[in-house]
């Protein structure tokens, strides 16, 4: 199961490096002055008991560095979509630093969808300070 999650993460990285139009499985939000967070889910419409990769990118669109604290291993997720534990584990939780103009910081997580078919809202936190959550609709098939 971890191999499939890692393959999905690698695919998400490759997709994230290409310029394209936002998809239905993506949400972009201004989370602080000059900071945009983009959250992308793979697959777009997961099934119950299927792995889902959550990718988050925080981008500094400003002209000066921004001081922030962000997750480094996994992402915080809540909302009415039921997910089972993170498939990613490491010894770190967060990092503190300056995000240069035009630079970005990426975070990933892989979870198993426990919810039955239906429409849900997933809230994802990548940025810890200032604390921000981005909502994204999810349809479980």
Tell me the torsion sign for CA atoms 61, 65, 69, 73: positive
In tens digits, the chain (141 residues) has pLDDT values of: 555 544 444 444 444 444 445 566 899 999 999 999 999 999 999 999 999 999 999 999 999 999 999 998 899 999 999 999 877 777 788 999 999 999 999 999 999 999 999 999 999 999 998 899 999 999 999
pLDDT of amino acid 55:
96
Residue 73: predicted pLDDT: 85
Q: Which residues contact 72 (CB under 8 A, 6 or more apart)?
A: 90, 92, 93, 94, 95, 107
Helices (H) and strands (E) in the chain, counts: 1, 11
Instruction: Report how far residue 55's alpha carbon sits from residue 53's, in angstroms, rounded to the nearest whole number.
Output: 6
The pLDDT score that the predictor gives to residue 130 is 84
Domain CATH number, residue 14 = 2.60.40.10
- pTM score, two decimals? 0.81
Q: Are 46 and 136 in contact (CB under 8 A)?
A: no
Cis peptide before 112 (omega within 30 of 0): no
Task: Please check whether residue 73 is in contact with residue 89, taking contact to mean a CB–CB distance below 8 angstroms.
Answer: yes
Number of domains the chain is built from: 1
Q: Which domain holds residue 17?
A: 2-140
**What pLDDT, on a 0 to 100 scale, did the predictor assign at position 3?**
52
What is the per-residue pLDDT for 18? 46
What are φ and ψ of residue 98, in 5° steps? -105, 135
């Amino acid at each position: 199961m971890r191999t499939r999650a890692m393959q999905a993460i690698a695919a998400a990285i490759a997709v994230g490096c290409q310029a394209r139009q936002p998809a239905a499985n993506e949400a972009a939000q201004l989370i602080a002055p000059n900071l945009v967070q983009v959250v992308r889910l793979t697959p777009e419409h997961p099934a119950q008991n299927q792995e889902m990769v959550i990718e988050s990118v925080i981008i500094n669109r400003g002209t000066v560095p921004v001081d922030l604290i962000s997750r480094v291993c996994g992402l915080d997720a809540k909302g009415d979509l039921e997910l089972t534990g993170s498939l990613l584990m490491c010894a770190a939780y967060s990092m503190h630093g300056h995000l240069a103009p035009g630079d970005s910081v990426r975070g990933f997580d892989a979870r198993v969808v426990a919810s039955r078919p239906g429409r849900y809202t997933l809230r994802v936190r990548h940025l810890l300070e200032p604390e921000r959550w981005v909502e994204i609709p999810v349809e479980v098939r």
